Structure 1
């Protein structure tokens, strides 16, 4: 008897949607082999198995199967359709029934869930380390604590008195005399940004990308710094800003207007290399994507190319036929055959009309 097709710990119950390979189901033998009532029960069993543990399995119990298939306690009615409804299911050594296709989809979903968890943990660790470096220790943290210890009325008075001087001095670092009590502890926006994370350099790098747009004069780069603190890369920021400027329909007035485009650029990058955005996880080098992960990504990009859905924002190394393409020929051939099969044409016919 076969070993279980899915490990016991695979649990995707928080995934409300189960992937359905439309072409694969349409061309499956199950469509021709079973009746309509059996097909209906089979679909319900697939859905029930998605939220079982392990995912993609069912208990080998007629009462439970009758319930999952929509027949409730009327087991006699369930037994009339059981043969067709259980088409493709395999009993394994743990006593449960497994469907190879549902098990395959469950393993893919579990892998994506694990990768997302790794990225989230990496970002949280990076944010925690950045917060400790900035506020947790050292002179800066002591000064912040001392400032917080002042009576609320004193802090409010200082803020009120400092506001007119901030407006007068603008962005002139060092304009306030050291002995001026109203100026003590006040930083200009430019000095504060430069002291935190070198955002003067960040602004000098990003502002040429937006030219004369209103956002070019916005001194507040906090939204960009937050994205970088989450683990997004500077290349993601630049790529997202370029995409907004080239294809956006509105005029950005604050750096936060680019956030959606920057995150989309980061997602496109992650779809290619499968790696988390942070360079390290807990101070250790991040794990590289496995050969199987890389192959799946290459097949997906090549298949999208042959379907004519390839986006201009995707890398040339994933575009079959491009001089910079790095996808192996056997992977390209597999993707070509996959798309031809889904479209119901022969490989020769498809090759004659493919992009």
Structure 2
């Protein structure tokens, strides 16, 4: 069967596809940073509890517990926008892959609720239930890793229409893309990146604290970042060579723009490693944001290469209707302003406390 026959007809869009592409990348970068901070902080806290014993004193874990519910809330809310923009540009692919793994995809909502509750209990009962801390943060991390695995499956399955014929043999909505050679390295690439970013966020947090142990925790956070980033190099190479050869070669000189973005990304990784081993927190942070931008661009280039034989967003038919775009821009700006204002109030309240 010709896989192109399984791809639904794309809907019309109200304005040029470039607007949706820009906001897809922008909101995904924001979501990615928040998601990495949330998952990485949880993993670091869990590891420290395991090393010290669940009920032992752990100022870093206590600080993480206070912020974890907020991190989850921001991650979820900032994750809605890129998913919506993805559906606008690639809806005929993401909807099909979501249906094929519908049982797992729909379960994400319930898993998120349990994860949220676990994080809140970890925060509110941190001092009252010292022997149970490790279990609640462990449950939160485990559920977050499960959700990440489901997302990795969906994002790879949508890129492979030739595998959609498997639906005729499995109509139960339990199809996963386990045979894809890129699935595991892609998944680990996100997970290990979260440990690095979680460590950097830990260092940033203790930069603002007046504590005799602040310098020690800043150094520890930078170590988490440095060694996780080193592991990322190995996983990144694994991810690259697991791609289909024609797509991999696009980044190895096959296409000028792809190769340039790849080299800039590598340069960014080298730069942030130097900064992190020198404990230069702010320089590392700036370099990380720049590197993530290049990595997200590479990720989009990989997606475009996979789907190049079937579709490109530039093919979408535009039926002009600019009001929704203007409304979104206004709401987006007001929303970002409101978030920063709430964070300002929370920060000031924390200082007073």
In the superposition, the TM-score normalised over structure 2's length comes to 0.25
Bigger-Rg structure (1/2): 1
Task: Normalising by structure 1, report the TM-score.
Answer: 0.25
Give the structure, 1 or 2, with the largest relative contact order (CA under 8 Å, sep 6 or more).
2
Please identify which structure carries the higher helix content: 2
